[in-house]
Structure 1
Amino acid sequence: MPEKVTTIPKGSEIIQRVKAKALANDKFSGCSQSVLGALQEEFDIGDMQSFKAATVHSGGFRRGETCGALIGGLMGLGLAIGRGKMEDTDTYQKAMDVSD
């Protein structure tokens, strides 16, 4: 079972595992899904629907020039610490603070 963490030190084993999984996933194309899939596997977050949603977030976010890998990482962050209801503004603010 994936370990539960609240902070991840730079260069840690967790980061190395996620990086290796994302690089392995990238052979199938789709940088957003490569990163998100690695995070989903490592931290047991999200589901097939969130993974499918990342399909179109690749190719420089379809040439809007935002890296799909960044979007996939932010989607993973949202799955891990994001709010579940629109009115939960406290959780929203905490997630925004982390992603700054």
Structure 2
Amino acid sequence: MGKVDQAVECFCGGAACSQAIAATYGPDFGLAREQAMKVASGFAGGMRLGETCGAVTGAFMVLGLKFAGADCETRDGRDAVYAALADFVRKFEQRNRVVICRELLGCDISTPDGARKANREGLFRTICPNLVKDAAEILEEML
């Protein structure tokens, strides 16, 4: 099974979108799966605020692991990471129009009404696996 399928399976098995991406790709760059699951745990659902999609933020973590060098403590040392993030966002938006969770889902899961709507309509089962798949496929191109 390829990594794209592993990420989707991880998500469908109960992990958050951010965790599915970070835990699937992080170990290739020295981040243990258990640590990836922990560090990515708070980023699902647009950081629980309906903001940037967790699959996207999970991918950002992986891109940081891949493209940040020893000099990443300086602004210049992060240029390669920032370029990779911009490229990822462009590709994700080509597929999905936006990177904002509430716009991708059509409701704001940070509100009680939005969370109920997402659960009632099964959005985490119908929309989110495709977003995890898209993020993983884009990572496959970039890594």
TM-score, L = length of structure 1: 0.68
Question: What CA distance in whole angstroms lies between the structure 1 residues aligned with 2:68 and 2:61?
Answer: 9
TM-score, L = length of structure 2: 0.50
Question: What CA distance in whole angstroms lies between the structure 2 residues aligned with 1:24 and 1:74?
Answer: 20
Partner of 2:84: 98
Question: What CA distance in whole angstroms lies between the structure 2 residues aligned with 1:45 and 1:72?
Answer: 15
- Aligned-pair CA distance for 1:50: 4.0
Structure 1 counterpart SS, 2:41: helix
Partner of 2:7: 22
Runs ≥4 residues deviating over 2 A: 47-51
Distance 1:60 1:98, change over 3 A: closer
Do 1:39 and 1:45's aligned partners in 2 also have CA atoms closer than 8 Å? no
> Which protein has the bigger helix share?
2
Partner of 2:43: 57
Do 1:45 and 1:80's aligned partners in 2 also have CA atoms closer than 8 Å? no
Higher relative contact order (CA 8 A, sep 6+): 2
Where does the alignment leave 5 or more consecutive residues of structure 1 unmatched? Answer: 1-15
Superposed CA RMSD = 2.1
- Aligned-pair CA distance for 1:65: 2.5
The answer as to 2:70 corresponding to 1:86 is no
Where does the alignment leave 5 or more consecutive residues of structure 2 unmatched? Answer: 87-143
Question: What CA distance in whole angstroms lies between the structure 2 residues aligned with 1:65 and 1:77?
Answer: 19
Structure 1 counterpart SS, 2:18: helix
Q: Percent identity?
A: 27
Stretch of structure 1 that moved more, 31-40 or 57-66: 57-66
How many residue pairs were aligned?
83
